[in-house]
Amino acid sequence: MAGPQFQPARDHLSLGEAFFDPVEAADFPQTRLRYADRDWAARIGLGGLSDERWLAHFGRFEPFEGSLPQPLALKYHGHQFQRYNPDLGDGRGFLFAQMREPGTGRLLDFGTKGSGQTPYSRFGDGRLTLKGGVREVLATTRLEALGVNTSKTFALIETGESLHRNDEPSPTRSSVMTRLSHGHVRIGSFQRPYFLQEPKHLRQLLRYACQTYAPAIYHLTYGAEDGQGDAAAAPLFLRWVSANCAETVADWFAAGFVHGVLNTDNINITGESFDYGPYRFLPRLDPNFTAAYFDQSGLYAFGRQPEAVFWNLQQLAGTLVELSEQSALIAALQDYSRVLAQAVEDRLFRRLGLRASGDRDADQRFLQAFLGALKTSGLSFDETLHRAFGARAWPQGDDWREVSAMAAGFAVDRPERLDHPYFRTDRPTSLVIGEIEALWEPIAEKDDWSAFEQKLADTWSMAEAYGFSPIVADGGQKALAAAEGQAEATGAATHAES
Protein backbone atom coordinates (compact mmCIF):
# COMPACT_ATOMS: atom_id res chain seq x y z
CA MET A 1 0.00 0.00 0.00
CA ALA A 2 0.97 3.62 -0.45
CA GLY A 3 2.44 5.14 2.69
CA PRO A 4 1.15 8.19 4.57
CA GLN A 5 3.66 10.41 2.74
CA PHE A 6 2.12 9.59 -0.64
CA GLN A 7 0.11 12.61 -1.77
CA PRO A 8 -2.15 11.65 -4.70
CA ALA A 9 -3.29 14.32 -7.14
CA ARG A 10 -5.50 14.56 -10.20
CA ASP A 11 -4.81 18.08 -11.49
CA HIS A 12 -4.79 17.14 -15.18
CA LEU A 13 -8.46 16.20 -15.03
CA SER A 14 -9.31 19.90 -14.64
CA LEU A 15 -8.35 20.48 -18.28
CA GLY A 16 -11.15 18.27 -19.54
CA GLU A 17 -11.36 15.87 -22.46
CA ALA A 18 -10.26 18.47 -25.01
CA PHE A 19 -6.78 17.51 -23.81
CA PHE A 20 -7.02 13.75 -23.25
CA ASP A 21 -8.97 10.55 -23.84
CA PRO A 22 -9.65 8.04 -21.04
CA VAL A 23 -8.17 4.69 -22.11
CA GLU A 24 -7.55 1.18 -20.86
CA ALA A 25 -4.18 -0.51 -20.43
CA ALA A 26 -3.31 -3.61 -22.41
CA ASP A 27 -3.94 -6.96 -20.75
CA PHE A 28 -0.47 -8.50 -20.75
CA PRO A 29 0.04 -12.28 -20.65
CA GLN A 30 2.67 -11.92 -17.92
CA THR A 31 4.08 -9.25 -15.61
CA ARG A 32 7.60 -9.78 -14.36
CA LEU A 33 9.33 -6.98 -12.46
CA ARG A 34 12.72 -6.28 -13.99
CA TYR A 35 13.59 -2.89 -12.50
CA ALA A 36 12.18 -0.72 -9.72
CA ASP A 37 13.51 2.65 -8.60
CA ARG A 38 13.26 2.02 -4.86
CA ASP A 39 15.02 5.27 -3.93
CA TRP A 40 12.48 7.48 -5.68
CA ALA A 41 9.67 5.25 -4.43
CA ALA A 42 10.75 6.03 -0.86
CA ARG A 43 10.95 9.75 -1.65
CA ILE A 44 7.32 9.92 -2.80
CA GLY A 45 5.80 7.67 -0.15
CA LEU A 46 5.76 4.37 -2.06
CA GLY A 47 8.74 2.77 -0.37
CA GLY A 48 6.56 0.14 1.29
CA LEU A 49 5.14 -1.34 -1.91
CA SER A 50 5.59 -5.09 -2.19
CA ASP A 51 6.63 -6.61 -5.50
CA GLU A 52 3.04 -7.76 -5.90
CA ARG A 53 1.80 -4.17 -5.59
CA TRP A 54 4.48 -2.92 -8.01
CA LEU A 55 3.10 -5.38 -10.56
CA ALA A 56 -0.49 -4.41 -9.80
CA HIS A 57 0.12 -0.67 -10.24
CA PHE A 58 2.79 -0.67 -12.95
CA GLY A 59 1.98 -3.85 -14.85
CA ARG A 60 -1.82 -3.91 -14.62
CA PHE A 61 -2.21 -0.20 -13.83
CA GLU A 62 -4.58 -0.46 -10.92
CA PRO A 63 -5.19 3.17 -9.89
CA PHE A 64 -3.90 4.76 -6.72
CA GLU A 65 -6.65 5.90 -4.40
CA GLY A 66 -7.18 9.64 -4.76
CA SER A 67 -5.27 9.90 -8.04
CA LEU A 68 -6.54 9.45 -11.60
CA PRO A 69 -9.37 6.89 -11.71
CA GLN A 70 -8.44 5.86 -15.25
CA PRO A 71 -5.40 6.32 -17.53
CA LEU A 72 -5.45 9.34 -19.85
CA ALA A 73 -3.97 9.33 -23.38
CA LEU A 74 -2.80 12.91 -23.83
CA LYS A 75 -3.61 14.88 -26.96
CA TYR A 76 -0.91 16.91 -28.71
CA HIS A 77 0.55 17.70 -32.10
CA GLY A 78 4.14 18.44 -33.01
CA HIS A 79 6.90 19.09 -35.48
CA GLN A 80 8.87 15.94 -36.24
CA PHE A 81 12.20 16.81 -37.79
CA GLN A 82 10.66 20.26 -38.35
CA ARG A 83 7.68 18.93 -40.31
CA TYR A 84 4.28 19.45 -38.73
CA ASN A 85 2.32 16.32 -37.83
CA PRO A 86 -1.27 16.71 -36.59
CA ASP A 87 -1.67 12.94 -36.12
CA LEU A 88 0.22 12.64 -32.85
CA GLY A 89 -0.81 12.02 -29.25
CA ASP A 90 -0.01 9.29 -26.74
CA GLY A 91 0.13 6.29 -29.07
CA ARG A 92 1.79 3.73 -26.78
CA GLY A 93 1.59 5.43 -23.43
CA PHE A 94 -0.68 7.38 -21.12
CA LEU A 95 -0.78 9.46 -17.97
CA PHE A 96 -1.43 6.88 -15.26
CA ALA A 97 -1.28 8.82 -11.98
CA GLN A 98 -0.31 12.14 -10.44
CA MET A 99 1.05 13.03 -7.01
CA ARG A 100 2.77 15.79 -5.04
CA GLU A 101 6.42 15.49 -4.06
CA PRO A 102 6.64 15.54 -0.25
CA GLY A 103 8.45 18.63 0.97
CA THR A 104 8.39 20.60 -2.28
CA GLY A 105 4.77 20.18 -3.37
CA ARG A 106 5.86 19.71 -7.00
CA LEU A 107 3.31 17.96 -9.15
CA LEU A 108 4.72 14.68 -10.45
CA ASP A 109 3.34 12.30 -13.06
CA PHE A 110 3.51 8.61 -13.72
CA GLY A 111 3.57 8.29 -17.50
CA THR A 112 3.94 5.04 -19.40
CA LYS A 113 5.58 3.64 -22.52
CA GLY A 114 4.45 0.37 -24.04
CA SER A 115 1.12 0.21 -22.20
CA GLY A 116 -1.04 -0.60 -25.22
CA GLN A 117 -2.91 0.96 -28.09
CA THR A 118 -4.80 4.25 -27.81
CA PRO A 119 -6.79 6.36 -30.30
CA TYR A 120 -3.40 7.81 -31.37
CA SER A 121 -1.55 4.57 -32.05
CA ARG A 122 -2.16 4.87 -35.80
CA PHE A 123 -0.70 1.62 -37.17
CA GLY A 124 1.48 0.85 -34.13
CA ASP A 125 0.96 -1.98 -31.66
CA GLY A 126 1.38 0.29 -28.62
CA ARG A 127 4.13 -1.91 -27.21
CA LEU A 128 7.73 -1.42 -26.07
CA THR A 129 10.53 -3.91 -26.56
CA LEU A 130 12.34 -5.09 -23.45
CA LYS A 131 15.57 -3.85 -25.01
CA GLY A 132 14.01 -0.41 -25.42
CA GLY A 133 13.03 -0.44 -21.74
CA VAL A 134 16.51 -1.50 -20.67
CA ARG A 135 17.98 1.34 -22.73
CA GLU A 136 15.68 3.83 -20.98
CA VAL A 137 16.73 2.62 -17.52
CA LEU A 138 20.39 3.00 -18.48
CA ALA A 139 19.83 6.48 -19.93
CA THR A 140 17.89 7.97 -17.04
CA THR A 141 20.15 6.43 -14.39
CA ARG A 142 23.28 7.85 -16.01
CA LEU A 143 21.75 11.25 -16.73
CA GLU A 144 20.50 11.58 -13.17
CA ALA A 145 23.97 10.64 -11.89
CA LEU A 146 25.48 13.40 -14.05
CA GLY A 147 23.09 16.02 -12.64
CA VAL A 148 20.80 16.25 -15.67
CA ASN A 149 17.21 17.37 -15.11
CA THR A 150 15.69 14.13 -16.34
CA SER A 151 12.65 11.96 -15.91
CA LYS A 152 13.20 8.77 -13.90
CA THR A 153 12.51 5.27 -15.14
CA PHE A 154 10.40 4.19 -12.18
CA ALA A 155 9.43 0.65 -13.19
CA LEU A 156 10.24 -1.78 -15.98
CA ILE A 157 8.12 -4.90 -16.30
CA GLU A 158 8.51 -7.69 -18.83
CA THR A 159 5.14 -8.54 -20.36
CA GLY A 160 5.57 -11.87 -22.12
CA GLU A 161 4.74 -10.95 -25.72
CA SER A 162 6.83 -11.45 -28.87
CA LEU A 163 7.25 -8.25 -30.86
CA HIS A 164 8.44 -7.72 -34.40
CA ARG A 165 10.59 -4.67 -35.12
CA ASN A 166 12.55 -3.59 -38.18
CA ASP A 167 15.47 -2.12 -36.25
CA GLU A 168 16.39 -5.13 -34.07
CA PRO A 169 16.36 -8.94 -34.34
CA SER A 170 12.78 -10.25 -34.17
CA PRO A 171 10.79 -11.65 -32.58
CA THR A 172 11.96 -9.87 -29.46
CA ARG A 173 10.75 -9.60 -25.87
CA SER A 174 8.25 -7.00 -24.69
CA SER A 175 7.97 -4.69 -21.71
CA VAL A 176 6.02 -1.82 -20.22
CA MET A 177 7.79 1.10 -18.59
CA THR A 178 6.60 3.75 -16.16
CA ARG A 179 8.43 7.07 -15.91
CA LEU A 180 8.28 9.52 -13.03
CA SER A 181 8.27 13.01 -14.45
CA HIS A 182 7.63 16.64 -13.54
CA GLY A 183 4.67 16.89 -15.88
CA HIS A 184 3.92 15.84 -19.45
CA VAL A 185 2.78 19.17 -20.91
CA ARG A 186 4.85 19.69 -24.05
CA ILE A 187 5.31 22.36 -26.68
CA GLY A 188 3.17 20.09 -28.85
CA SER A 189 0.37 20.39 -26.28
CA PHE A 190 0.09 24.09 -27.20
CA GLN A 191 0.43 23.44 -30.91
CA ARG A 192 -2.71 21.30 -31.04
CA PRO A 193 -5.33 23.90 -29.96
CA TYR A 194 -3.53 26.54 -32.03
CA PHE A 195 -3.64 24.33 -35.14
CA LEU A 196 -7.30 23.43 -34.53
CA GLN A 197 -8.16 27.12 -34.05
CA GLU A 198 -9.42 26.60 -30.51
CA PRO A 199 -8.37 29.82 -28.75
CA LYS A 200 -10.48 28.97 -25.70
CA HIS A 201 -8.51 25.77 -25.13
CA LEU A 202 -5.20 27.50 -25.82
CA ARG A 203 -5.99 30.10 -23.15
CA GLN A 204 -7.12 27.36 -20.79
CA LEU A 205 -3.85 25.46 -21.25
CA LEU A 206 -1.74 28.57 -20.69
CA ARG A 207 -3.58 29.38 -17.49
CA TYR A 208 -3.32 25.77 -16.25
CA ALA A 209 0.38 25.58 -17.06
CA CYS A 210 1.13 28.79 -15.18
CA GLN A 211 -1.01 27.88 -12.18
CA THR A 212 0.39 24.35 -11.94
CA TYR A 213 4.06 24.76 -12.84
CA ALA A 214 4.87 28.50 -12.62
CA PRO A 215 2.64 29.85 -9.83
CA ALA A 216 4.68 33.05 -9.44
CA ILE A 217 3.69 33.98 -13.00
CA TYR A 218 0.10 32.92 -12.39
CA HIS A 219 -0.31 35.05 -9.25
CA LEU A 220 1.12 38.13 -10.94
CA THR A 221 -0.83 37.88 -14.18
CA TYR A 222 -4.09 36.15 -13.25
CA GLY A 223 -4.33 36.38 -9.48
CA ALA A 224 -3.45 40.04 -8.82
CA GLU A 225 -6.12 42.74 -8.89
CA ASP A 226 -4.36 44.53 -11.72
CA GLY A 227 -3.32 41.29 -13.47
CA GLN A 228 -3.58 41.49 -17.25
CA GLY A 229 -4.28 37.80 -17.83
CA ASP A 230 -3.15 36.05 -21.00
CA ALA A 231 -1.48 39.10 -22.57
CA ALA A 232 0.90 39.45 -19.63
CA ALA A 233 1.23 35.73 -18.84
CA ALA A 234 2.21 34.52 -22.33
CA PRO A 235 5.62 36.27 -22.65
CA LEU A 236 6.53 35.49 -19.03
CA PHE A 237 5.58 31.87 -19.55
CA LEU A 238 7.62 31.71 -22.76
CA ARG A 239 10.61 33.23 -20.95
CA TRP A 240 10.24 30.59 -18.21
CA VAL A 241 10.03 27.68 -20.67
CA SER A 242 12.99 29.04 -22.64
CA ALA A 243 15.15 29.27 -19.53
CA ASN A 244 14.14 25.75 -18.45
CA CYS A 245 15.08 24.34 -21.84
CA ALA A 246 18.38 26.26 -21.96
CA GLU A 247 19.39 24.77 -18.61
CA THR A 248 18.68 21.26 -19.89
CA VAL A 249 20.58 21.78 -23.15
CA ALA A 250 23.56 22.78 -20.99
CA ASP A 251 23.05 19.61 -18.94
CA TRP A 252 23.23 17.54 -22.11
CA PHE A 253 26.38 19.32 -23.25
CA ALA A 254 28.34 18.61 -20.08
CA ALA A 255 27.06 15.02 -20.01
CA GLY A 256 28.08 14.45 -23.63
CA PHE A 257 24.53 13.39 -24.39
CA VAL A 258 22.71 13.38 -27.73
CA HIS A 259 18.94 13.06 -27.34
CA GLY A 260 18.38 12.12 -30.96
CA VAL A 261 14.73 13.13 -31.46
CA LEU A 262 14.25 16.75 -30.43
CA ASN A 263 10.76 17.12 -31.86
CA THR A 264 8.34 19.59 -30.30
CA ASP A 265 6.30 16.75 -28.77
CA ASN A 266 9.45 15.70 -26.87
CA ILE A 267 10.09 19.09 -25.25
CA ASN A 268 8.55 19.41 -21.79
CA ILE A 269 7.61 22.96 -20.69
CA THR A 270 9.48 22.33 -17.42
CA GLY A 271 12.61 21.63 -19.43
CA GLU A 272 12.83 18.14 -17.99
CA SER A 273 14.53 15.76 -20.42
CA PHE A 274 12.46 12.66 -21.24
CA ASP A 275 11.57 9.98 -23.80
CA TYR A 276 14.80 8.23 -24.75
CA GLY A 277 14.70 6.39 -28.05
CA PRO A 278 17.80 6.51 -30.28
CA TYR A 279 19.99 8.42 -27.80
CA ARG A 280 23.79 8.27 -27.64
CA PHE A 281 26.58 9.37 -25.33
CA LEU A 282 29.64 10.84 -27.02
CA PRO A 283 32.64 8.56 -27.47
CA ARG A 284 34.69 11.75 -28.14
CA LEU A 285 33.87 15.43 -28.56
CA ASP A 286 32.37 15.70 -32.04
CA PRO A 287 29.77 18.41 -32.81
CA ASN A 288 28.54 16.38 -35.81
CA PHE A 289 27.85 13.20 -33.83
CA THR A 290 24.23 12.03 -34.26
CA ALA A 291 22.16 9.52 -32.33
CA ALA A 292 19.47 8.42 -34.78
CA TYR A 293 20.42 6.46 -37.90
CA PHE A 294 17.53 8.18 -39.69
CA ASP A 295 18.85 11.70 -38.89
CA GLN A 296 20.83 11.75 -42.11
CA SER A 297 21.02 15.56 -42.30
CA GLY A 298 22.39 15.84 -38.75
CA LEU A 299 19.51 18.08 -37.68
CA TYR A 300 19.77 16.87 -34.09
CA ALA A 301 23.54 16.33 -33.96
CA PHE A 302 25.30 17.02 -30.66
CA GLY A 303 26.51 20.48 -31.71
CA ARG A 304 23.11 21.46 -33.14
CA GLN A 305 21.00 20.65 -30.07
CA PRO A 306 20.99 24.28 -28.84
CA GLU A 307 19.62 25.60 -32.14
CA ALA A 308 17.17 22.68 -32.47
CA VAL A 309 15.64 23.43 -29.08
CA PHE A 310 15.52 27.16 -29.85
CA TRP A 311 13.67 26.40 -33.10
CA ASN A 312 11.13 24.46 -31.05
CA LEU A 313 10.75 27.39 -28.67
CA GLN A 314 10.01 29.61 -31.65
CA GLN A 315 7.14 27.27 -32.51
CA LEU A 316 5.80 27.70 -28.99
CA ALA A 317 6.05 31.46 -29.40
CA GLY A 318 4.06 31.14 -32.63
CA THR A 319 1.15 29.54 -30.77
CA LEU A 320 1.07 32.41 -28.26
CA VAL A 321 0.98 35.25 -30.80
CA GLU A 322 -2.81 35.43 -30.64
CA LEU A 323 -2.67 35.93 -26.87
CA SER A 324 0.03 38.57 -26.54
CA GLU A 325 2.10 41.20 -28.34
CA GLN A 326 4.62 39.78 -30.80
CA SER A 327 7.32 42.17 -29.58
CA ALA A 328 6.95 40.90 -26.01
CA LEU A 329 7.29 37.29 -27.17
CA ILE A 330 10.39 38.09 -29.23
CA ALA A 331 11.94 39.78 -26.19
CA ALA A 332 11.16 36.71 -24.09
CA LEU A 333 12.97 34.42 -26.54
CA GLN A 334 16.09 36.56 -26.35
CA ASP A 335 16.75 35.22 -22.86
CA TYR A 336 17.51 31.76 -24.21
CA SER A 337 21.04 32.42 -25.48
CA ARG A 338 22.04 34.31 -22.34
CA VAL A 339 20.80 31.58 -19.99
CA LEU A 340 22.33 28.87 -22.17
CA ALA A 341 25.79 30.48 -22.29
CA GLN A 342 25.96 30.87 -18.52
CA ALA A 343 24.51 27.42 -17.87
CA VAL A 344 27.05 25.72 -20.15
CA GLU A 345 29.89 27.40 -18.26
CA ASP A 346 28.38 26.40 -14.92
CA ARG A 347 27.91 22.77 -15.96
CA LEU A 348 31.40 22.44 -17.43
CA PHE A 349 33.02 23.77 -14.27
CA ARG A 350 30.84 21.40 -12.26
CA ARG A 351 31.82 18.43 -14.43
CA LEU A 352 35.50 19.40 -14.06
CA GLY A 353 35.17 19.74 -10.28
CA LEU A 354 36.45 23.33 -10.34
CA ARG A 355 35.07 26.66 -9.17
CA ALA A 356 34.63 29.50 -11.61
CA SER A 357 36.97 32.38 -10.80
CA GLY A 358 34.38 35.11 -11.08
CA ASP A 359 36.35 36.69 -13.93
CA ARG A 360 34.03 35.87 -16.83
CA ASP A 361 36.67 36.45 -19.50
CA ALA A 362 39.23 34.24 -17.76
CA ASP A 363 36.62 31.54 -17.18
CA GLN A 364 35.60 31.52 -20.82
CA ARG A 365 39.20 31.44 -22.08
CA PHE A 366 39.92 28.41 -19.93
CA LEU A 367 36.80 26.51 -21.01
CA GLN A 368 37.40 27.31 -24.67
CA ALA A 369 40.97 26.07 -24.39
CA PHE A 370 39.77 22.88 -22.68
CA LEU A 371 37.07 22.16 -25.27
CA GLY A 372 39.44 22.98 -28.12
CA ALA A 373 42.06 20.55 -26.83
CA LEU A 374 39.43 17.87 -26.18
CA LYS A 375 38.05 18.15 -29.72
CA THR A 376 41.43 18.31 -31.46
CA SER A 377 42.93 15.43 -29.51
CA GLY A 378 40.07 13.02 -30.26
CA LEU A 379 40.44 11.55 -26.77
CA SER A 380 37.64 9.76 -24.93
CA PHE A 381 35.10 12.27 -23.65
CA ASP A 382 34.36 10.41 -20.42
CA GLU A 383 37.91 9.29 -19.62
CA THR A 384 39.34 12.78 -20.12
CA LEU A 385 36.72 14.42 -17.91
CA HIS A 386 37.15 11.70 -15.29
CA ARG A 387 40.92 12.08 -15.03
CA ALA A 388 40.73 15.87 -15.16
CA PHE A 389 38.17 16.08 -12.35
CA GLY A 390 39.56 18.38 -9.68
CA ALA A 391 42.50 19.10 -12.06
CA ARG A 392 44.01 15.73 -11.08
CA ALA A 393 45.61 14.78 -14.40
CA TRP A 394 45.67 16.34 -17.84
CA PRO A 395 46.61 14.57 -21.08
CA GLN A 396 49.98 15.15 -22.70
CA GLY A 397 50.63 17.63 -25.53
CA ASP A 398 51.14 21.34 -26.16
CA ASP A 399 47.42 22.18 -26.10
CA TRP A 400 46.97 20.33 -22.84
CA ARG A 401 49.98 22.03 -21.23
CA GLU A 402 48.23 25.35 -21.83
CA VAL A 403 45.01 23.99 -20.33
CA SER A 404 46.89 22.64 -17.30
CA ALA A 405 48.62 25.97 -16.73
CA MET A 406 45.32 27.85 -16.92
CA ALA A 407 43.60 25.33 -14.61
CA ALA A 408 46.08 26.18 -11.85
CA GLY A 409 44.21 29.45 -11.40
CA PHE A 410 40.98 27.70 -10.36
CA ALA A 411 40.14 26.25 -6.96
CA VAL A 412 38.91 22.69 -6.60
CA ASP A 413 35.25 22.54 -5.66
CA ARG A 414 34.55 20.31 -2.64
CA PRO A 415 38.01 18.66 -2.73
CA GLU A 416 36.91 16.00 -0.25
CA ARG A 417 35.14 14.26 -3.15
CA LEU A 418 38.53 13.25 -4.57
CA ASP A 419 38.84 10.73 -1.73
CA HIS A 420 35.91 8.74 -3.10
CA PRO A 421 36.96 5.33 -4.47
CA TYR A 422 35.44 6.21 -7.83
CA PHE A 423 38.12 8.84 -8.41
CA ARG A 424 40.93 6.44 -7.52
CA THR A 425 40.40 4.52 -10.75
CA ASP A 426 41.60 5.56 -14.21
CA ARG A 427 38.53 4.26 -16.01
CA PRO A 428 35.16 5.90 -15.42
CA THR A 429 31.80 4.29 -15.92
CA SER A 430 30.54 5.18 -19.39
CA LEU A 431 27.67 4.26 -21.71
CA VAL A 432 28.69 4.41 -25.36
CA ILE A 433 26.57 2.42 -27.78
CA GLY A 434 28.82 -0.65 -27.85
CA GLU A 435 28.47 -1.01 -24.08
CA ILE A 436 24.69 -0.91 -24.31
CA GLU A 437 24.73 -3.70 -26.88
CA ALA A 438 27.12 -5.73 -24.71
CA LEU A 439 24.81 -5.33 -21.70
CA TRP A 440 21.79 -6.48 -23.71
CA GLU A 441 23.41 -9.56 -25.24
CA PRO A 442 23.44 -11.78 -22.09
CA ILE A 443 19.88 -10.70 -21.27
CA ALA A 444 18.69 -11.68 -24.73
CA GLU A 445 20.61 -14.94 -24.88
CA LYS A 446 20.61 -16.27 -21.31
CA ASP A 447 18.30 -13.98 -19.32
CA ASP A 448 21.45 -12.95 -17.44
CA TRP A 449 20.95 -9.51 -15.88
CA SER A 450 24.19 -9.43 -13.88
CA ALA A 451 26.13 -7.12 -16.24
CA PHE A 452 23.15 -4.73 -16.40
CA GLU A 453 22.88 -4.68 -12.61
CA GLN A 454 26.63 -4.12 -12.25
CA LYS A 455 26.42 -1.16 -14.64
CA LEU A 456 23.68 0.37 -12.53
CA ALA A 457 25.75 -0.17 -9.36
CA ASP A 458 28.75 1.50 -11.00
CA THR A 459 26.56 4.39 -12.10
CA TRP A 460 25.20 4.88 -8.58
CA SER A 461 28.79 4.91 -7.32
CA MET A 462 29.57 7.66 -9.84
CA ALA A 463 26.51 9.59 -8.68
CA GLU A 464 27.66 9.34 -5.07
CA ALA A 465 31.18 10.50 -6.01
CA TYR A 466 30.03 13.54 -7.98
CA GLY A 467 27.24 14.55 -5.59
CA PHE A 468 25.45 16.53 -8.30
CA SER A 469 21.93 17.90 -7.91
CA PRO A 470 19.89 18.73 -11.01
CA ILE A 471 18.78 22.30 -11.68
CA VAL A 472 15.01 21.90 -11.86
CA ALA A 473 12.42 24.43 -12.97
CA ASP A 474 11.50 27.01 -10.37
CA GLY A 475 7.99 28.40 -9.97
CA GLY A 476 8.56 31.31 -12.34
CA GLN A 477 10.44 33.67 -10.03
CA LYS A 478 13.56 33.87 -12.21
CA ALA A 479 11.47 34.62 -15.29
CA LEU A 480 9.81 37.51 -13.47
CA ALA A 481 13.17 38.85 -12.32
CA ALA A 482 14.63 38.58 -15.83
CA ALA A 483 11.64 40.39 -17.33
CA GLU A 484 11.88 43.16 -14.74
CA GLY A 485 15.61 43.49 -15.38
CA GLN A 486 15.06 43.73 -19.12
CA ALA A 487 12.34 46.34 -18.63
CA GLU A 488 14.61 48.43 -16.41
CA ALA A 489 17.47 48.19 -18.91
CA THR A 490 15.18 49.19 -21.78
CA GLY A 491 13.80 52.07 -19.77
CA ALA A 492 17.27 53.28 -18.86
CA ALA A 493 18.39 53.11 -22.49
CA THR A 494 15.32 55.02 -23.66
CA HIS A 495 15.89 57.68 -20.98
CA ALA A 496 19.54 58.02 -22.01
CA GLU A 497 18.61 58.45 -25.69
CA SER A 498 16.05 61.11 -24.87
Backbone angles phi, psi at 473, to 5 degrees: -60, 135
Per the rule left: phi > 0, alpha: psi between -120 and 50, beta: everything else, 236 is alpha
User: Which stretches does DSSP call E strand in 217-298?
Assistant: 257-258, 280-281
Which sign, positive or negative, has the C-alpha torsion 221, 226, 230, 235?
A: negative
Q: In angstroms, rounded to a whole number, what is the distance separating the alpha carbons of residues 459 and 37?
A: 14
**42-to-48, 103, 470 alpha-carbon distances in Å:** 8, 13, 19
Contact assessment for residue 431 and residue 282, using Cβ atoms and an 8 Å cutoff: no
**138-to-141, 171, 282, 458 alpha-carbon distances in Å:** 5, 22, 15, 11
**Catalytic-labelled residue, pool 90, 109, 251, 265:** 265
Q: Is 265 a catalytic residue?
A: yes
- The DSSP result for 101-147, as a single string, is -TTT--EEEEEEESS---TT-TT----EEHHHHHHHHHHHHHHHHTT
Other C-beta atoms within 10 Å of 391: how many? 18
Contact assessment for residue 222 and residue 211, using Cβ atoms and an 8 Å cutoff: yes
Per the rule left: phi > 0, alpha: psi between -120 and 50, beta: everything else, 316 is alpha
Contact assessment for residue 462 and residue 145, using Cβ atoms and an 8 Å cutoff: yes
Q: In angstroms, rounded to a whole number, what is the distance separating the alpha carbons of residues 194 and 200?
A: 10
Q: Label residues 115-139 b or e (16+ Cβ within 10 Å = b).
A: bbbbebbeeebbbbbbbbbbbbbbb
Residues that are catalytic: 265
